Amino acid sequence: MSRLRTRVRQLAVCYWLQIKILLISPFEGFLGVVFPLMFATATLMVYRLNGDADALQYAGLGAAVMGIWTSVTVSASSLLNRERWSGTLELLVAAPTPFSLVLIPITSAMATVGLYSVLATIVWNRVVFGVRLQIESWPLFVLGMLMATLTIALFGFLLSVTAIRYRTSWALGAALEYPGWLLCGFVVPLGLLPDALRPLSWALAPTWAVEAMRAAASGASPWADLAVCLALGLAYAALAAYLGVRLVDSARRNATLALT
């Protein structure tokens, strides 16, 4: 029991200190504030051309989650490179704490910053574009939003472990940013995507989280979508933990922990 408490404490303290690191940088703070609003603005300006209120509602909801996807996928895949550059990666790996437990607070801190972007975008959409989200069940909508945050964080966790072995894997996150907006159905209905891409969409947990949020907004039951979303999130976590151990071993064999 005390071991569990120690572990929970480790996760909580590390999470808090990582939040501090993220929030202290004025430049990154500025980007974190402005980027999601910029993306939402571009999306809504495109969608309001036809004057279709339903389409605007659809885009407003998807745009809210776009920011969190961007902030977590792009940042998570570069976060270990950041540690590598600052010389702390070796210290993190050399710690007796399992590496996956070192990474979880870092990606969770990023997801928390991403959660801000959801709230900021909803307010921005309402104030600037007059898009008032019609939500039938706010509790289920918020649950879907939290699930999106959690599963995107777990997806970021999966991306981040690859960077320990492959120094250039930061590019993976950057490459996933815009395709993710489409594949997860944030701004384009999945029905419009080619059939070949559907399995890819289904494998992404945020797809189901956004579906759950849309269901909660329209008054339908979001539980099936939430269950699939959670299952996929847990699968990401298990895969990341498995890969984490193997990729750390591979990094020790191939000497990729340090810069040189």
Partner 1 sequence: MTAVVARDLTRTFRTHEGRFKRTRRDVAAVRGVSFTIEPGELFGLLGPNGAGKTTTIKMLITLLLPSSGSASVLGHDVVTDLREVRRRIGYVFGGDRGLYDRLSGLDNLRYFSELYGVPPREQRQRIGQLLEVVGLTGREGERVEGYSRGMRQRLHIARGLLHDPDVIFLDEPSIGIDPVGARELRATIAGLREQGKTVLLTTHYMFEADELCDRIAVIRDGRIVAEGTPAQLKGAVASGRVLEIETYGVPQHVVTALTGPDGVAGVRSASVVERGHLQVLGLQCDAESEVTQQVLARLGDVRVGRVSAREPTLEDAYVALVTDP
Residues found near partner 1 in the complex (CB under 8 A):
6, 9-10, 13-14, 17, 20-21, 24-25, 86-88, 90-97, 102, 249, 252-255, 257-258
Rounded CA separation 30/39 (Å): 14
- Given the complex with partner 1, which of 7 and 132 has the nearer CB atom? 7
Rounded CA separation 176/58 (Å): 22
Label each residue of 189-212 as H, E or C: CHHHCCHHHHHHHHCCHHHHHHHH
**Residue 25 Cβ, how far from partner 1 at the closest point, in Å?**
6
**Residue 177 Cβ, how far from partner 1 at the closest point, in Å?**
25
**Residue 117 Cβ, how far from partner 1 at the closest point, in Å?**
21
**Nearest by Cα to 130 from 43, 65, 64, 44:** 44
- Given the complex with partner 1, which of 201 and 256 has the nearer CB atom? 256
Rounded CA separation 87/168 (Å): 17
**Residue 11 Cβ, how far from partner 1 at the closest point, in Å?**
9
**Residue 95 Cβ, how far from partner 1 at the closest point, in Å?**
4
- Given the complex with partner 1, which of 6 and 221 has the nearer CB atom? 6
- Given the complex with partner 1, which of 20 and 132 has the nearer CB atom? 20
Rounded CA separation 10/105 (Å): 9
Using an 8 Å Cβ cutoff, are 75 and 110 in contact? yes
**Residue 10 Cβ, how far from partner 1 at the closest point, in Å?**
4
Grouping H, G, I as helix, E, B as strand and the rest as coil, residue 241 is helix
201: amino acid identity, one letter: S
Instruction: Please name the residue ranges forming H helices in 166-190.
Output: 170-183
Which tokens is 42 given?
């571009």
